[in-house]
Amino acid sequence: MKYSVWYTSVFAILGMFTSKQVEAHVKWFVSQNGTGIDKGNDVYFSFLNPNMKIVLGIAILTFICAAIIHICLSRYAQQPSILTQKLKTQVIVLAQLLTGSAFFASSINGVLFAPHFTASPNQIIFLMMELVAGILFISRSYIYLASFLTIIIFIVVTIDYGFVSSFEYLNLVGLVSLFSLSYLAVRPPKKRTLIEPFNKESLTMLGLTFYRITLGIALVVLGLSEKLLNPELALNFVNQYPEFNFMQALGLDFSNRLFVLCGGVAEVLFGMIYIVGFVPRINTLALAVFLIASNSFFAFTGELDKALMELTGHLPLLAGAIMLVILGGGYSYSALKPFVSFQWRSLRVNT
């Protein structure tokens, strides 16, 4: 059945914001070697496809709406924060506990960051690094060392699996950088000139900004690599778990291809909104809802092992979501100009 423009538009809007539950990293559940999908059978998406044009049009319209809402709400962002420094610290501590727990569980299961990054015998040392980093984050000790170990593991994953695969988890780099900057805000060095013109508030805000951007990049890469540019992975995932395409359960003629297309475009859209900095709290709330929905799917279908695996893997995302919702998305790009200009002036003076 060919979709009419109206039919596709209405249900693509619904699909984009509900099929996001396919955001569950499909590489965790589907082998990349032999997907069982005939790649020659019009698997890949084309910009000439009418459905693609409609879905992209809806995404662009949504992006514009997010910009308008952000502008309308920007005046409220100028109000002083009502959160105390103690509460802010507690939120970051909770995020560290969740992240540390994820690292600890991953190291025990013999994987680096994600279930499909199985450590080889030559990578045992990096599993130990991940275990140590997890323990340090949980105990709130030597945060700089834990962050450094995380970045080392990320570099190893990049070397072994490539930039595309590792950048799907670039948010981890932003997350541990945020932890380090917030720790620096609480315990600044004796020579304050080393971190001028930053203060406690600006260091945390800078960390939130960097995390928001890295999360946006990770979502964009994930949407492109697992769905839009490599749709056979996601198609095979939906074929294995047809209940994921709940649009068909509602009695709608919503193909798996269109479902995957909507999910991929939604991920890229969420990521782009993060990168530019529009409505980060609203964007995060929507993302959190879909993360919970994705995890609940496996729990409700009785596949508790997969539900636990996905929950563990998504703990860093949930940790970041808690911080973005409560603490905000950090600085806008215009607000970063004073810091950049200060560092540039300092560099010229030192030179």
Going by C-beta distance under 8 Å and a sequence separation of 6 or more, which residues neighbour residue 106? 112, 113, 114, 130, 134, 312, 313
Tens digits of residue pLDDT in 56-75:
898 999 999 999 998 888 76
The tokens of 277 are what? 């900095």
pLDDT score of 106: 94
pLDDT score of 197: 54
Tens digits of residue pLDDT in 320-330:
999 999 998 88
pLDDT score of 192: 52
* Tens digit of pLDDT at every position of the chain (351 positions): 444 444 445 444 544 444 444 445 677 776 665 545 545 445 667 767 777 788 889 899 999 999 999 888 876 655 556 677 788 889 999 999 999 999 999 999 999 998 889 998 899 999 999 999 999 999 999 999 999 999 999 999 999 999 888 999 999 999 999 999 988 877 665 555 555 556 667 888 899 999 999 999 999 999 888 888 888 888 888 888 777 776 666 666 677 888 888 888 889 999 999 999 999 999 999 888 877 777 777 777 777 787 788 888 889 999 999 999 999 888 888 777 766 655 544 434 343
Give the Cα separation of 170 and 215 in Å (integer): 7
Nearest-5° angle of CA 34, CA 38, CA 43?
Answer: 110
Which of 121, 86, 87, 117 is CA-nearest to residue 103? 117
> Tokens 């013999």 label which residue?
110
pLDDT score of 270: 93
Which of 101, 149, 155 is CA-nearest to residue 129? 149
The domain containing residue 185 runs over which residues? Answer: 5-350
Give the Cα separation of 242 and 53 in Å (integer): 25
Helices 231-240 and 256-276 pack at an angle, to 10 degrees, of 120
Q: DSSP string spanning 185-219?
A: HHS--S-GGGGTT--HHHHHHHHHHHHHHHHHHHH
pLDDT score of 22: 44
At 72, the amino acid letter reads C
Burial group, residue 219, by CB count within 10 angstroms (0-12, 13-18, 19+): buried
pLDDT score of 332: 82
Q: E strand or H helix at 284, and its extent?
A: helix 280-300
How many domains are there within the chain? 1
User: Could you tell me the pTM of the whole model?
Assistant: 0.84
The tokens of 103 are what? 């690292």
The tokens of 219 are what? 């979502």
Tens digits of residue pLDDT in 61-115:
999 999 999 888 876 655 556 677 788 889 999 999 999 999 999 999 999 998 8
